[in-house]
Amino acid sequence: MKELKRVFVKGGILSPSELKQIVNYADSLGLKELHFGSRQDIIFPVYNKEENLENEDPILNIDLVTDVNRQNIVSSYVAADIFESTTWLGSATYLYIVENFKYQPKLKINITDPKQQLVPLFSGQLNFVASDNEDYWYLNLHLPNFENSVFYPVLIYSWDIAEVSKVIEEVYADADDVDELFMLVNSQIETNSRTIEKELITTFKPFPYYEGMNKMGINQYWLGLYWRNNNYYIDFLRDFCDFCLDNRIGKISITPWKSFIVKGIPSESKLSLERFLGKSGINIRHSLLELNWHLPVNDDEALQLKKFIVRNFDQNDISTYGLTFAVTNRDESNIYFTSIVVEKNSVPNIVKDFEVRPTYNVLYSEKFDPNNHKYLVYAQDVDKIELSGLLMELSKMYFNQLGDENTVENSENKVNLKSKKDEVFQCSDCLTVLGDYWHDKQVVGDSEISLKNIPNNYRCDVCDASKEMVVKVIL
């Protein structure tokens, strides 16, 4: 990302005319393609015309951002009207909120609906999550100077979100905890806040299919477009913007999955759009094995690893419906938002002059719900050749417990307003975390785990180690 240039798109929302101007600007720099980022921004590949780096479009004021400390605002506007949503929260509310941001945030800000699954709730540093009270939001804080994520003590009013965010950016470094932060913010501004009457509850649902032409309401459709390599060709994007303008399509929405969605396509335009896509050679029905991946931008090694794993999935007839995957470099600052994560380990400095095969860690979110933000280690320091098999094991584990009482489909996740560190029991031989399955596959809730109630004949599912190898660790 340090070598790439970004164009921020607030909330992932832009008009066809705005995207066309960005495309034309990229064309003037000699680019042939664009990328989409995980924070709903547009990424310009590395190019040679460095003298044009600071040029700005006089109409749109396009700014190629190189400062990695500046952040785009993420929103779930892209999911509104096409996936399940909070009753009072519609497209117009998102538009009003993001337009209130008159400054460029340095903290990652998410504005999301907890009913939808497409946009992660807690991948930011200021995470505004809609409550049941109309125009009021929970605020989850994952600030750089806080050890754990915490919730702000009151609900934030929709029209105060931008101002509260700005003040928090200015004062958070002086606060040691959320209570002190709350006092500092209140000393700076007056807000129309509301008392929190109940904890935030998120219900897990499998990740949705977000590609292709789909019915929307009575006389409209929505279209999701996805490219495997995240290379969106400028010529196609320009023609697509012209089509949207000619057919009265007002907005284009970028997803966090490096794709985009167009809503509100008139039914009379559906056939001509399908003809346009066909003539352009656009495939709009990729396998679910392909879609639900989060990869670093412009990282060919990660893309090749994904292709290797997906090919193995396909050859073994594995289903991954409802699961999401990520490939990433191991970094303590990473905030994950997928069900399963493949971390690439850094090569030790002592062997940097030798060619060493990379090793990987495999993690999965508790109950396979990425909004829990609790990741358990499934395997460590494994070779690339082992990854496909490990991920297939995890996918089977997911489906084995899908819909069980106290687990994924039927469970409600109360997000604690005060976070704490998690104590778990782990096999010291292979580092598998206990909690989901015993050797006889009897499901046991996390609250029941203690050394005394682990059966004496317990054997680790992965390495067959005995109970004596089980130890308590803190995540």
pLDDT in tens, 187-215: 999 999 999 999 998 888 888 888 888 98
Asked, for residue 349, whether it belongs to a domain, the answer is: yes
Q: Considering only 44-53, 301-310, 370-379, 388-397, which range has the smallest mean pLDDT?
A: 44-53
The pLDDT confidence band at residue 337, using thresholds 50, 70 and 90, is confident
Asked, for residue 377, whether it belongs to a domain, the answer is: yes
63, two tokens: 């700014």
Selection from 311, 331, 308, 313 nearest residue 323 by Cα: 313
Q: Using CA atoms, how far apart are residues 26 and 44, in angstroms rounded to an integer? A: 7
CATH number at residue 327: 3.30.413
- Cβ of 164: how many Cβ atoms within 10 Å? 21
Strands in 33-36's sheet, in edge-to-edge order, are 5-7, 42-44, 33-36, 232-233
Mean pLDDT throughout 92-97?
A: 95
Q: Is residue 7 within a helix (H) or strand (E), and if so which, with residue range?
A: strand 5-7
| 213: helix, strand or coil | strand
Entry field: residues in the chain: 475
Mean pLDDT throughout 20-32?
A: 89
Q: Using CA atoms, how far apart are residues 289 and 78, in angstroms rounded to an integer? A: 22
Asked, for residue 66, whether it belongs to a domain, the answer is: no
What percentage of the chain has pLDDT greater than the value 70?
Answer: 80
* DSSP 8-state secondary structure symbol assigned to residue 148: S
Range of the domain at 306: 290-420
> 185 with 168: CB under 8 angstroms?
yes
- Residues β-bridged to residue 254: 260
What is the reported pLDDT for 431?
A: 62
* DSSP 8-state secondary structure symbol assigned to residue 106: S
| 423: helix, strand or coil | strand
> 365 with 334: CB under 8 angstroms?
no
- Total number of domains constituting the chain: 1
Mean pLDDT throughout 323-344?
A: 83
Helices (H), 369-441: 384-401
Asked, for residue 78, whether it belongs to a domain, the answer is: no
Asked, for residue 202, whether it belongs to a domain, the answer is: no
- Whether the pLDDT of residue 408 is over 90: the answer is no
- Whether the pLDDT of residue 133 is over 90: the answer is yes
The pLDDT confidence band at residue 439, using thresholds 50, 70 and 90, is very low
- Whether the pLDDT of residue 449 is over 60: the answer is no
* DSSP 8-state secondary structure symbol assigned to residue 75: E
Helices (H), 100-233: 161-171, 178-188
Task: Label residue 56 left, alpha or beta by phi (over 0 means left) and psi (-120 to 50 means alpha).
Answer: beta
Q: Considering only 142-146, 227-231, 283-287, which range has the smallest mean pLDDT?
A: 283-287
Nearest 5°: the CA angle 129, 132, 135 is 70
- Whether the pLDDT of residue 316 is over 90: the answer is no
16, two tokens: 């066809």
Asked, for residue 269, whether it belongs to a domain, the answer is: no
Mean pLDDT throughout 350-376?
A: 80
> 60 with 9: CB under 8 angstroms?
no
Q: Using CA atoms, how far apart are residues 45 and 359, in angstroms rounded to an integer? A: 28
Q: Using CA atoms, how far apart are residues 228 and 306, in angstroms rounded to an integer? A: 10
Q: What's the maximum distance between 2 C-alpha atoms anywhere in the chain?
A: 73
Asked, for residue 469, whether it belongs to a domain, the answer is: no
Mean pLDDT throughout 87-104?
A: 93
Mean pLDDT throughout 438-451?
A: 43
- Whether the pLDDT of residue 411 is over 50: the answer is no
The pLDDT confidence band at residue 53, using thresholds 50, 70 and 90, is very low
323, two tokens: 């699961």
Asked, for residue 378, whether it belongs to a domain, the answer is: yes
Q: Using CA atoms, how far apart are residues 172 and 176, in angstroms rounded to an integer? A: 8
53, two tokens: 């780096």
| 53: helix, strand or coil | coil
Mean pLDDT throughout 274-294?
A: 84
> 212 with 224: CB under 8 angstroms?
yes
347, two tokens: 């090569």
What percentage of the chain has pLDDT greater than the value 90?
Answer: 42
Q: Using CA atoms, how far apart are residues 363 and 339, in angstroms rounded to an integer? A: 8
Q: Which residue has the higher pLDDT, 196 or 407?
A: 196
What is the reported pLDDT for 353?
A: 60
| 214: helix, strand or coil | strand
CB burial of 21-40 (b: ≥16 within 10 Å; e: otherwise) equals: bbbbbbeebebebbbbbbbb
Q: Using CA atoms, how far apart are residues 416 and 200, in angstroms rounded to an integer? A: 8
